[in-house]
Copies of this chain bind each other. A is one copy, B any other.
Amino acid sequence: MDSNPTPQPRYAVVAQALTTDIVEGRHGIGAMLPTEGELSRAFGVSRSTVREALRRLGEQGLVAAAHGVGTRVIADRPRSEYRLAAGSVADVMGYAGPVCLDVASRQEVQASQGLAARLGCEAGTQWWHVGGVRRTHRGGPAFACVDLFIAAEFADVATGEALLSTPAYRLIGESRGLQITEIKQEITAISLDAAQAGLLGGTPGQPGLHIRRRFYAADGRLVEATLNVHGDADCFTYALRLGGFNG
């Protein structure tokens, strides 16, 4: 009797109907959806089925439920989300294998106007600056010039030896139980200056990649900024793979 060869689950029917209502504006952003009980009666399905449908809408970022209050529309189009494939901060770095840091200098600095602009912090704040190069292994060729700036309160991280083999953001996270919740990254093309070319084994004026990354804690504080300079394609490629998610 069922002419549908592969009938959709009932929760999918409910979810589709609600999604259409939201996308077409019948439930505007900020509006409360009918309660789960009302939807259950309206669609003639159990409350569990309604909840399964609402769960899908929630995963797509369309609605958010508040305990004791109701379910509110928070967006009018499903988000199509892409996530870093392997799912860790390391992927943002674009390093495939292990890397080690050769430190050339460490010193505490106060952010001048110019440095503050480069870091994206406020002028006058205190930072530990660690300068050096990155190599794939000790003694190998350098593939990046690195300037780390670590918030002064994490002086132990900046001055410790663990920094040579472990990314600073991870040391900060592990030793202090502090969670990095946001990363901003900017990539631009530059010409290598004489010092950079010397460190990377290239020639001055040759093209390079400049990558700035800023790491923010949950409370919005900038805890680390890194300024990296890489050589051209022969030396470094920044690769990022994004996997699709609930389309």
List the interface of chain A (C-beta within 8 A of B): 61, 79-85, 87-89, 91-92, 179-191, 205-210, 218, 230-233, 236-244, 247
Contact = CB atoms under 8 A, between A and B. Distances in A.
Contacts of A81: 83-84, 87-88
A186 B87 CA distance: 17
Nearest to A207: B207
One complex includes copies of this chain to the number of: 2
A109 to B, nearest CB: 23
B83 A88 contact: no
A247 to B, nearest CB: 5
B233 A210 contact: yes
Given A187-B239, A189-B230, 10 more contacts: A80-B89, A82-B183, A84-B242, A85-B182, A179-B244, A182-B244, A184-B240, A185-B239, A185-B241, A207-B208
Contacts of A179: 244, 247
16 contacts: A81-B87, A82-B91, A83-B84, A179-B244, A183-B241, A185-B239, A187-B239, A188-B233, A189-B189, A189-B208, A189-B230, A189-B232, A189-B236, A190-B207, A190-B232, A206-B207
A236 B188 contact: yes
For the complex of A and B, list the 8 residue pairs with the smallest distance between their C-beta atoms, beginning with the closest: A181-B244, A207-B207, A188-B233, A79-B87, A187-B238, A189-B207, A189-B209, A183-B242
B241 A184 contact: yes
A190 B237 CA distance: 11
A207 B191 contact: yes
> Which of A79, A88, A207, A233 counts the most B-chain CB atoms under 10 A from its CB?
A207
A111 B210 CA distance: 33
Contacts of A243: 181-182
A191 B233 CA distance: 10
